[in-house]
Amino acid sequence: MALEDAKTQVDQAFTRESLRGLSFENAFGGATSFLRRRYTKDLAGVDLAVTGIPFDQAVTHRPGTRFGPRAIREASTLQAFDAPYGWGYDPLALLDVVDYGDMAFDYANTREVPGRIEAHIGAILDAGVAPVTLGGDHSITLPILRAVAARRGPVALIQFDAHSDTWVDDDPERIDHGTFLYKAIREGVVDPAASVAVGIRTDNPDTMGVTILDAPMVHREGVEAVLARVRAVVGDRPVYVTFDIDALDPAFAPGTGTPVWGGLAGWQAAALLRGLAGVDLIGGDVVEVSPPYDTTGATAIAGAHVALELIALYGWTRR
């Protein structure tokens, strides 16, 4: 069946009739929507929408994550043939998933971007649809969390990251990828007592009450011990997952703005995400994929896998 479909399927981003099901069009051809989902702004009957926010003007060091959503979509074409390994079910057969496209914004008017992101994600949520967002730098997560919390109340956050992103920033006009969580906690959109950061390996004197499970702990104590701690912290609260690709060691994801050695291996990230099955996921993002610093495409491939794992995680409790 797959071979026969491969002979006829092309540009499934526009031609597919059903929102469900795998796609077998050639990975190297056609329009590169995420997982060959249909590009649409129509959210009627949709369960989950993948959307891109190609904004990278809040980075500390190397820019380039504006190209992240496009690269992640391209990398995802190789994953469209099969259900994600290790889950035991196919989320694309269960869920109506679309590619909602990228958010439009004026690149030269950076101060209006957070408000536009909040409205963009808010429109998805108001349609009763869960968002999975492709970044973009990590500053985009703050307005996303504002939109989620406005509708669901303060959320539990599971953050995969090399950095805590709780550096002090009391200027409401500043946009900085290293302060998104500081502001989210100060604004009350994230409950730090129910939040955990995994993979941290940079010093920050104030983590705002977030439980830190740093990279050395993951390496030393193992995936199962980390998962037990994560579950104990978040409990049965609605959870948002934000995955900064620099949580991975630069050996696995060199294409990012602020790489730090000693990070997670790809297999650890996969096991941790799959081990979260059963949490009440209400949305997620993968950010800081910067293709210009990775000629192999490995970082975008990792980002595409993370996004698919988030979809599988969302679908797990809705089977």
Strands (E), the chain: 48-53, 97-102, 130-135, 156-160, 196-198, 211-213, 238-244, 280-287
* Cβ-based burial of 151 (10 A; exposed 0-12, middle 13-18, buried ≥19): exposed
Amino acid at 2: A
Q: Does 171 carry a binding-site annotation?
A: no
Q: Which residues touch 24 (CB under 8 Å, ≥6 apart)? A: 2, 3, 5, 6, 9, 80, 81
Q: Does 165 carry a binding-site annotation?
A: yes
Q: Does 96 carry a binding-site annotation?
A: no
Q: Does 176 carry a binding-site annotation?
A: no
Taking CA 145 as the corner, what is the angle to CA 141 and CA 146, rounded to the nearest 5 degrees?
120
Q: Give 200's Cβ-side CA count (13 Å radius).
A: 21
- The β-bridge partners of 115 are none
Q: Does 206 carry a binding-site annotation?
A: no
Q: Does 61 carry a binding-site annotation?
A: no
Binding positions for Mn(2+) are: 138, 161, 163, 165, 244, 246
Binding positions are: 138, 161, 163, 165, 244, 246
